[in-house]
Amino acid sequence: MEKVDVAQIKQMDRDYVLHSWAKQKSVHPKVIEKGEGIFFWDDEGKKYYDMCAQLVYLNVGHSHPKLMEEFKHIGEIPLASPGFATASKASLAKKIIDVAPSNMSKVFFASGGADSNDHAVKIARMVTGRYKIFSRYRSYHGATFGAGNLSGEGRRFTVEPGLPGFIKFDTPYMYREYIHFESQEAMSDYYLDRLNSQIMYEGPEQIAAIFMEPIPGSNGVLVPPKGYLEGVRKLCDNYGILMICDEVMSGFGRTGKMFAVDHFDFEPDMMTFAKGVTCGYSPLGGVIVSREIADYFDDHVLMTGLTYSGHTVSTQIGCVTMDIYNDEHLIEHSAAMGNILAARLEKLRRFDSVGDVRYIGLFAAVELVKDKKTKDPLIAYGMDYGKDKVGLMTKFIGMLSEYGFYTYSHESSVIIAPPLIITEEQINEAMNLFEDVLTHFEKTVLF
């Protein structure tokens, strides 16, 4: 494409582009001029630590040389619509099944996270003949109409009034529990009992699937209490309900294992993925299904499809991305660097504005509060979501950006999820910046 200078890009952006989740007048986007590893530079030459891997997808970092090289080979595999077999689609499906839980068998390719979740819902309804879908509060599954109905936080209000048959249940949130539990197991039992009652009240024979992010990401990296996910699996087995895990954000090494479910002792019936499968170098998502579900479609029509299902370019990029995870031992590296990040996060607890830190691998959140004793959150919940009326979190994220620490927040949680290639030295440098910002924020804004 022809060269366009920064001023022209910004002008055309203002004139012609609609930006998501924003009042257009308040959007003043910068232009990324260059990206390399965990860093990117804006149009004024300012350098940033990309501490959220863009939208938690750039696991292999910016401008990875093997992916830049692969782009030179785009076109060598002919473009083909979904009815054809291609080298890239077949190979990527195999690579994914090779690293998925042992009961997983086939992949349906979609274009991103939300439409993957939409397809998982459709597949669950086809296989079970039931229509109700359970999903959780404090979850994000995407912005399409179906995924929006699955989502359990403020962004779902954009699809209200919702579709019939989408039922919400609660997510255990250890930091903000009003009840005192003797142990994590006791907490799991409490939530499982409540879920069981809800299933009974909704009619188990009507429920097709229970849908969940095993570790909710955008909503603040809510690592579940011990035994909880395994308990949900048992409830699903008791009632013939399918268990679907959304690994769009948590998959492909983010948590220090290939998938978040690998930390626990259960296997879901379906898993959805996107982001890390190509690290955003090309859009791609999909649904991984168990042997049983795959077999069902041997003799039943899979009544769904997408023009770009298994798109040649995206699956070609996916194949190289999967090789990078393997060749560079990025999953193991994520676990090792997760320990370094964890130590730095624990040190943040000394700050008066830090209510909680949560982490697993390179998937972390820092929850900010106005008052540590009362746990008064920085931003009010519920319908006020996104309004941040006093602008406290907006100020905090702005300060981080000024210091060269790029990330985003949700409600009162700041997400920290850098590219998996980050080094110990870079974690320490970035977390020094984070501490400097916390000190400055507390002194000049909060207290």
Contact present, 292 and 122 (Cβ < 8 Å): no
At closest approach, how far in Å is the CB of 346 from ligand PLP? 25
At closest approach, how far in Å is the CB of 55 from ligand PLP? 6
The CB-nearest residue to ligand PLP is 113
At closest approach, how far in Å is the CB of 410 from ligand PLP? 10
At closest approach, how far in Å is the CB of 178 from ligand PLP? 26
At closest approach, how far in Å is the CB of 238 from ligand PLP? 26
The residue with tokens 């699996």 is 233
Comparing CB distances to ligand PLP, the nearer of 353 and 407 is 407
Interacting residue ranges for ligand PLP, rule: CB under 6 A: 55, 112-114, 117, 140-142, 213, 217-218, 246, 248-249, 274
At closest approach, how far in Å is the CB of 293 from ligand PLP? 20
Comparing CB distances to ligand PLP, the nearer of 256 and 276 is 276
At closest approach, how far in Å is the CB of 24 from ligand PLP? 20
Comparing CB distances to ligand PLP, the nearer of 116 and 188 is 116
Comparing CB distances to ligand PLP, the nearer of 143 and 302 is 143
Backbone angles phi, psi at 350, to 5 degrees: -70, -15
Backbone angles phi, psi at 355, to 5 degrees: -80, -45
Comparing CB distances to ligand PLP, the nearer of 246 and 269 is 246
8 Cα distance to chain centroid: 33
At closest approach, how far in Å is the CB of 291 from ligand PLP? 24
Comparing CB distances to ligand PLP, the nearer of 54 and 188 is 54
Comparing CB distances to ligand PLP, the nearer of 93 and 260 is 260
Comparing CB distances to ligand PLP, the nearer of 420 and 438 is 420
| Tokens encoding 262 | 């690998």
At closest approach, how far in Å is the CB of 142 from ligand PLP? 3
Comparing CB distances to ligand PLP, the nearer of 39 and 57 is 57
Q: Are strands 166-169 and 47-50 parallel, antiparallel or unpaired?
A: unpaired
